[in-house]
Amino acid sequence: MLPKTLMPLLVLISVLHLPVAMAANQHENSTSIEMGGTIEPTCKVRNNVKQRAVNLDLSSSRAQRTNNVFIWCNTGQSNAQATYNSLNGGYLRSENGDSIPYLFTVANTAANLSLTSPQTVTQRTGSGTAGKDKGRVIKVTPQINGFEYAGVYRDTIEVTVSFN
Q: Residue 53's pLDDT band (boundaries 50, 70, 90)?
A: low
In a domain, 89, yes or no: yes
In a domain, 38, yes or no: no
% of residues, the chain, pLDDT over 90:
70
**DSSP assigned state of 149:** P
In a domain, 7, yes or no: no
Q: How many secondary structure helices (H) and strands (E) does the chain include? A: 1, 10
pLDDT in tens, 72-95: 999 999 999 999 999 999 999 999
In a domain, 134, yes or no: yes
Other Cβ atoms closer than 10 A to 141 = 18
CATH number of the domain bearing residue 69: 2.60.40
In a domain, 15, yes or no: no
Residue type, 124: R
| Three-state SS letters, 47-95 | ECCCCCCCCCCCCCCCCEEEEEEEEEECCCCCEEEEEEEECCCCEEEEC
Residue 127: per-residue pLDDT: 85
User: What total number of domains does the chain contain?
Assistant: 1
State which residues form the domain around 158: 43-163
In a domain, 86, yes or no: yes
Query: 99 has which bridge partners?
Result: 93
In angstroms, the CA 68 to CA 84 distance is 13
> Which of these, 66, 70, 58, lies nearest to 100 by C-alpha position?
58
Report the pLDDT averaged over residues 30-45. 95
In a domain, 24, yes or no: no
In a domain, 87, yes or no: yes
